[in-house]
Amino acid sequence: MTNPIGTFCLVLHTHLPWLAHHGSWPVGEEWLHQAWATSYLPVISLLETLAEEGKSEVLTLGISPVLAAQLDDPYCINEQRTWHANWQLRAQGMAGSRETWRREGGTREFKGAIAAQQDFDKRWQRGASPILRRLSEGGVIEILGGPATHSFQPLSKAATRRAALLIGQNDSLLRRGNRPTGIWAPECAYTPGLELDYAQAGINHFVVDGPTMNSAGRSTGAAWQVADSDVVAFARDLEVTYRVWSPRKGYPGGKWYRDFHTFDHEWGVRPVRVTGRSTPSHEKAPYDPERAMVAVERDARDFVSVVRNRLLELGSTMTESPLVVAAYDTELFGHWWHEGPKWLAHVLRLLPESGVTVTTLQGAMDLGHVAGQVDLPNGSWGSGKDWRVWEGDLVQDVVQANSGLEVEVLDTLRKYFDDPVHLRERSVAADQLARELLLTLASDWAFMIYKDSAAQYARRRSGDHLAATKDLIRLISSGNSAAARACAIQQQQRDYAFGHLDARTFIQFLD
Got the DSSP string for 376-401?
Answer: --SB-SSGGGSSHHHHSGGGHHHHHH
pLDDT at residue number 3:
84
What is the C-alpha to C-alpha distance for residues 414 and 161, in angstroms, rounded to an integer? 16
Contact criterion met (CB below 8 Å) for 359 and 7 = yes
Q: Is the pLDDT score of 195 beyond 60?
A: yes
Q: What single DSSP character describes residue 455?
A: H
Report the CATH fold assignment for 7-145+180-246+323-383. Answer: 7-stranded beta/alpha barrel (3.20.110)
Question: Span 236-248, mean pLDDT?
Answer: 90
Q: Which of 181, 185, 237 is nearest to 207 (CA)?
A: 185
Q: Which of 230, 155, 175 is nearest to 65 (CA)?
A: 175
List the Cα angle 235/330/138 in 5-degree steps: 85
Contact criterion met (CB below 8 Å) for 190 and 414 = no
pLDDT at residue number 247:
61
187 counts as catalytic: yes
pLDDT at residue number 14:
99
Q: Which CATH architecture has domain 392-507?
A: Up-down Bundle (1.20)
Give residue-wise pLDDT tens across range 30-58.
Answer: 999 999 999 999 999 999 999 999 999 99
pLDDT band, residue 266 (cuts 50/70/90): confident
Residue tagged active-site, from 72, 187, 195, 406? 187
pLDDT at residue number 265:
81
Q: Which of 206, 155, 158, 210 is nearest to 180 (CA)?
A: 206
What is the β-pairing status of strands 223-226 and 232-235? antiparallel
Convert 56-65 to b/e letters by CB count within 10 Å (16 or more is b): ebbbbbbbbb
Indicate the pTM of the whole model.
0.96
Ramachandran quadrant class, 250 (left: phi over 0; alpha: psi -120 to 50; beta: rest) = left
Question: Span 85-114, mean pLDDT?
Answer: 93
Which comes out higher in pLDDT, residue 258 or 277? 258
Question: Span 484-505, mean pLDDT?
Answer: 98
Residue tagged active-site, from 48, 288, 329, 408? 329
What's the one-letter identity of residue 192?
P
What is the C-alpha to C-alpha distance for residues 123 and 494, in angstroms, rounded to an integer? 26
**Would you call 122 exposed, middle or buried from its count of C-beta atoms within 10 A (0-12, 13-18, 19+)?**
exposed
What are the CA-CA distances from residue 466 to residues 104, 157, 209, 229 (Å)?
48, 16, 30, 35
Domain boundaries, the chain: 7-145+180-246+323-383, 392-507
Which comes out higher in pLDDT, residue 266 or 478? 478
